[in-house]
Structure 1
Amino acid sequence: MVFRGRPSKACQRCRARRLKCDYRPDSCTPCLRAAVVCHGYRDPQAIRIVDQTEDARCKALLKWKPARLTEASLSVSIDVQARMVFFAHYVSVGSRGWDFLIRWERGTEMVPRWLDASIDAVSLALLAHHHVSAPLLTLARQRYALALRVMKQALSFPPTARDSLIAASLLLDLFEKITHTDASVIQFWPSHVNGTLALIQKIGVEHFQDHYSLRIMSRFLTNYIISCVASAHVVSNDVLILRDHLERHLNLKDDPKWKISGLTMQYASFLSAVQTGRWSLQDGMTRAQDLDQALLAISRDMPPEWQPDRRILRYPLPHVYGQEMDFYRDRHATQAWNVLRQVRIQLNEYLLDSYETLNAIHGGNQLAASEVALRNIAALSLEVYASVPQYASYACRPRCSQGQADGTDLSVVPQKGCNKVHTPSELLDCYTLLFPMYIAARSKAATVDQRQWASSMFRYISDHFGIRNALLLAQLLDQNSDISPWCIYAMLGGYGFAA
């Protein structure tokens, strides 16, 4: 209740007209002058109670002015943002191929200056690629130059810094792959990994014994083999020694991916010999057939948990070619299978070209052998297409995969035509499909229908997942461009994005 003051004892007429009542016993003077009946005076002790709640509320609201709140937020530097993106994509959530950096991320060890500068450079380069930002790329190149200077000084440090030096060297190589995606740079790909190899030789392979050191060596070996294949260079004997060291300490002899990487090294030597003309045509064909059979043997000996689960759909889906799709246990198994397939496709294409050359030179009939190679390419291409829906089509993802993705904090904003937030891991799933799809769609066994489907999938991945390089592949496929597959691999950023 609101106190409105003591009630007046004046008569009713004086109160209504706000006249001065003189309280005379019979009638007040204002009433006498007006010649009206005075109805008497009120008891001043009477208590008048009025519910003023609503009136008081309205008056208070009229007087209230909203307070102007200033935005309270902490600005995060671009370097910190870039590092968050890098660690999300490469260390903790996405590929985890660089998980050996986790000990420096968590602060369990002090980050050396050369490693810190290298992480800054590659993080900014990755952010510049995501946002297509020239200023960010310029800043990344400045940090790269700083990292090179610091690395040069660090080479005089004692062997206790060996892990961080090798990791920094690999990061600088990663920077090159992210920022230099021109097809012309493919011949210079091994430059950084050769420098890393020289550093490993200087330190000594025997000094790399603990878990993190061996993980760093595994990362180096993967990058080195891919660089040799892409640039058609022979694998160094020193790398073979390093590979034996890793096989013993990590017990990798029976690992399917390890077996495939061993044959991939042979494929690098094969490409080098073919490019330099070191072998005759017959020798090259024999080596290609032997390597193809070795890869086929690995595919037949894959353990059950690595085998894909084939599904036949009862009705067509736009993201499933031929209503057949395969489910794999994870991206790593899918990637291993597709590496095997794309190498076999290229080997069989080499055999097809060789058969045509033999027919032209000797006039022999190699039709039966050509048909076998063509059937191999067609079958391998269909297997590549069947691996796409599990990752590129959200509707086809296993329920557990969807739940894990939805519950992940680090994510990427939805892209055009997409109502779902994608995690770094899901983006990497799709990125690893691009090169095998392109190899299959541009092969000699690809039909017009397959090319159109692959082109539409590239455009869908570009729009839905925001992977710009997928659109580049769609355009190259539509133009029927005759570009070396490994030049295309360099244009995609190589292992810079599909680590």
Structure 2
Amino acid sequence: MVYRGKPSLGCELCRKRRLNCDRREPSCSQCLRVNQACSGYRDPNTLRILDQSKEVAVKAQARRTASKSPPADRTTAPRTAPPISPDELAMSYIFTHLVGTTQSQGVMSYLLDLLHVDPSPALQATIKAVGLASLSRLPESRRAAGKEYTIALRATNDALRDPVSAKSDSTLGAVLLLSTYEMITCNPADKMGTWKHHVQGATKLLELRGLEQLNSRAGLELFTTVRFQNAISSIFYRSSDHNTPKMAALSKVARSKRSEHFQPIENFYDLLLRLSEFSLRVDGAHLQPDPVQNLQQLIDEGLLLDADLESWKTSLSPFWWYTIVEDSHPGSELGPNFPQPGGKHHVYYNVNLASMWNHYRQARIVLNEMIRTMSLHLWELQPSSECRQTVYQSLAVMKQMAEDICATLPYHFTSGEAGFGALVRIMWPLFIAGYCKGADAATRGYIMHALDFIGNTAGMQQADHMAQMLREEVTMTMIPGS
């Protein structure tokens, strides 16, 4: 009888691959990740003591026989690891970089809950599509991503036609992943409309799902993510249907679900709504019957909103604060020939707080670009020292926000796999920072290199397009008033 010590109780796949099995029911996370049936878990009471008398006798006899025989050729064929399919690579990417772990959660940590509760065909297909798109540097992954995206669209449309599944977390997660696919693959100059349509569709689902969606952690996270994307989309595309009475009522309940640490999320969302409404009135402001008075009123309103955004930042508790690290070398995480603008970088509590900070900085850049443009129009109509001072002030704010966004980037490459996955949320803040007039040549050059780097290392095709647009100085009308 032999005592075997503490045995592994995991499933067959986890034991074979020497993985940490979480032994969830009905399937562990590792088997769920590779879409394989879980073999179940072993009983510890039957494993600790084992009668190995026969095995010991056989081994002893084999040793005696071997000692009497001439040495044999010990050359054996090298072992090769079993091939990994593209689907397995895609699922592995999603779980490693976007879901993360308990200690280091990714920007889509809720996906694990969705797969355990309702692993619908639509959700599984969209997860594979996003994972394959993230691996698009491999030609076979690029082709497979497009094919899986078509399957995902069909499965999601089927789910939306069913009154029950249309309200599920799984279906909303699938729609949100479709928008993520567009963010990874599309050219922002001509295809971001598809992303906008997915976001608008997801917002309609929020209204359809009602108050019950806010009772679970995954439901509240999905609600928050979709709502922020819709608010940002409404700013860039000047949409007026972002704050319906139903959404306002849901947002009020969502605020009551937040702990004290996360109340700033709701406060910032209210500021985004004000910015969206403001952007609708900025386009064509100088064409109104009394353009001087109208422009001056809008500039004053914009300056007040910018002051409120600054107040939001100063009101944050220490939970939200980040550490500023002075760089001790002239290079950066992106290479020695690209010094970090400002000579410093930031370290955050987690990637989700880093993303929220960059939403704030992006909002201030967009707002101050509108203020700058309107001040220049007003200067043409009625020159004054106040106009000139407002232009300089807006440029200074944009310069600082652009440098702060750049200072966030090294954190994504040094905070582990979840930080790397969060790069999908920093592309647009980087692009807006590089596009604004407040960024100097050094910052703009750093941003173009950073987007190239993200495209090459993370397989995000949109980052490549963004870098090219900045180099070619492509004119866009995404910022109101420009």
TM-score (norm 2): 0.69
Q: State the partner residue of 1:449.
A: 442
Q: State the partner residue of 1:303.
A: 317
Q: State the partner residue of 1:290.
A: 304
The reply to whether residue 195 of structure 1 matches residue 183 of structure 2 is no
Q: State the partner residue of 1:28.
A: none
The reply to whether residue 101 of structure 1 matches residue 107 of structure 2 is no
- In the alignment, is the contact (CA less than 8 A) between 1:97 and 1:219 conserved in 2? no
Matches of 2:129 and 2:458 in 1, distance apart?
A: 25
Matches of 1:450 and 1:473 in 2, distance apart?
A: 15
Q: State the partner residue of 2:403.
A: 382
User: Quick one: which amino acid aligns to residue 440 of structure 1?
Assistant: A
User: Quick one: which amino acid aligns to residue 243 of structure 2?
Assistant: S
CA deviation after TM superposition for structure 1 residue 245, in Å: 1.7
Given candidates 375, 383, 408, the residue that maps to 1:355 is 375
Matches of 1:380 and 1:125 in 2, distance apart?
A: 30
User: Quick one: which amino acid aligns to residue 151 of structure 2?
Assistant: R
- In the alignment, is the contact (CA less than 8 A) between 1:121 and 1:140 conserved in 2? yes
- In the alignment, is the contact (CA less than 8 A) between 1:125 and 1:137 conserved in 2? yes
Q: Tell me: CA distance 1:119–1:313, structure 2 relative to 1, closer, same or farther (3 Å).
A: closer
Matches of 1:463 and 1:80 in 2, distance apart?
A: 21
Q: Tell me: CA distance 1:276–1:181, structure 2 relative to 1, closer, same or farther (3 Å).
A: same
Matches of 1:124 and 1:387 in 2, distance apart?
A: 26
Matches of 1:464 and 1:126 in 2, distance apart?
A: 10
Matches of 1:188 and 1:474 in 2, distance apart?
A: 20
Matches of 1:330 and 1:471 in 2, distance apart?
A: 26
TM-score (norm 1): 0.67
Q: Tell me: CA distance 1:465–1:239, structure 2 relative to 1, closer, same or farther (3 Å).
A: same
The reply to whether residue 327 of structure 1 matches residue 351 of structure 2 is no
The reply to whether residue 368 of structure 1 matches residue 418 of structure 2 is no
CA deviation after TM superposition for structure 1 residue 60, in Å: 5.0
- In the alignment, is the contact (CA less than 8 A) between 1:120 and 1:143 conserved in 2? no
| Residue-by-residue CA offset, 1:347-400 (whole Å, 9 max, x unaligned) | 2222221121112123444222222222322333333344344445x5xxxxxx
**Secondary structure of 2:239's match?**
coil
Q: CA RMSD in A?
A: 3.8
The reply to whether residue 81 of structure 1 matches residue 89 of structure 2 is yes
Q: Tell me: CA distance 1:176–1:379, structure 2 relative to 1, closer, same or farther (3 Å).
A: closer
* Larger of the two Rg values belongs to structure: 1
Matches of 1:145 and 1:461 in 2, distance apart?
A: 27
CA deviation after TM superposition for structure 1 residue 95, in Å: 6.1
CA deviation after TM superposition for structure 1 residue 334, in Å: 2.8
- In the alignment, is the contact (CA less than 8 A) between 1:90 and 1:96 conserved in 2? yes
Q: Tell me: CA distance 1:330–1:476, structure 2 relative to 1, closer, same or farther (3 Å).
A: same
Q: How many residues align?
A: 397
Given candidates 456, 462, 472, the residue that maps to 1:479 is 472
User: Quick one: which amino acid aligns to residue 229 of structure 1?
Assistant: I
Q: Tell me: CA distance 1:96–1:293, structure 2 relative to 1, closer, same or farther (3 Å).
A: same
Q: Tell me: CA distance 1:190–1:276, structure 2 relative to 1, closer, same or farther (3 Å).
A: farther
User: Quick one: which amino acid aligns to residue 361 of structure 2?
Assistant: R
Unmatched runs of 5 consecutive residues or more in structure 2: 1-66, 289-293
Matches of 1:309 and 1:443 in 2, distance apart?
A: 26
Q: Tell me: CA distance 1:139–1:69, structure 2 relative to 1, closer, same or farther (3 Å).
A: same
Matches of 2:455 and 2:321 in 1, distance apart?
A: 29
Matches of 1:65 and 1:282 in 2, distance apart?
A: 91
Matches of 1:454 and 1:194 in 2, distance apart?
A: 29
- In the alignment, is the contact (CA less than 8 A) between 2:299 and 2:371 conserved in 1? yes
1:66-215 matches, cutoff 5 A: 69=77, 74-93=82-101, 96-105=106-115, 107=116, 109=117, 111-128=119-136, 133-153=141-161, 155-157=162-164, 162-206=168-212, 208-215=214-221
User: Quick one: which amino acid aligns to residue 216 of structure 1?
Assistant: L
Identity %: 20
**Secondary structure of 1:483's match?**
coil
Matches of 2:327 and 2:127 in 1, distance apart?
A: 46
- In the alignment, is the contact (CA less than 8 A) between 1:90 and 1:98 conserved in 2? yes
